[in-house]
Amino acid sequence: MNSKASYNPRLTQDGDEWILVLERWVEHNCEEVWAALTEADQVPSWGPFTTDRNLTSAGPVRLAHIDMPEEDVRDGYVLEVDAPYLLVFRWGDDVLRWELSRDGDRTLLVLLHRFADRQQAPSYAAGWHLCLEGLAGILAGKKMPLMVGHNAYQHGWKALYVKYAAQLGIPLS
């Protein structure tokens, strides 16, 4: 996928944790983007996991990785909701914070992914890049492949990984 979208990746340290920040303009209004982020029937069309409920209220949630639904099920918890502008939830040990800002009929989506292992940042950045491309494509009415596992590799995950490792200052192992 060769998107002209700018993700402006940044990585900051907060104590023992790291925060990866990705920004992307989506050419749809906040309500449409919000529905894609929070409705259990929409999340698997673009994201790396399924949810056992809508993410529109605080409380526990089960998140199953699409590529390994039996092996990789994580307990999560929706921590904060301010529809249609803010969603914060725990995914295993990580915390995902989704911030939406309205600009007419388009939305600035900012994802802050908090995690422990700095070396994972380029992998997360590449994965989220592809997932957010899928989100934008789905909202535009395009048929998009799931961007996990083999599909992610076929759509440029490795090149994005190398690019983001360089941008974030993380040596390739």
Residue 101 lies in a domain: yes
CATH number at residue 161: 3.30.530.20
Q: What whole-number distance in Å separates Cα of residue 118 and Cα of residue 107? A: 29
**pLDDT for 51:** 96
Residue 76 lies in a domain: yes
**pLDDT for 132:** 96
Whether the link from the prior residue into 84 is cis, omega within 30° of 0, is: yes
Among 20, 19, 21, 27, CA closest to 3: 27
Residue 75 lies in a domain: yes
Give me the domain span that covers residue 120: 10-168
pLDDT in tens, 130-154: 999 999 999 999 998 888 888 888 9
Name, in order, each residue with C-beta under 8 angstroms of 68's C-beta and a sequence gap of 6 or more. Answer: none
**pLDDT for 8:** 80
**pLDDT for 19:** 99
Residue 3 lies in a domain: no
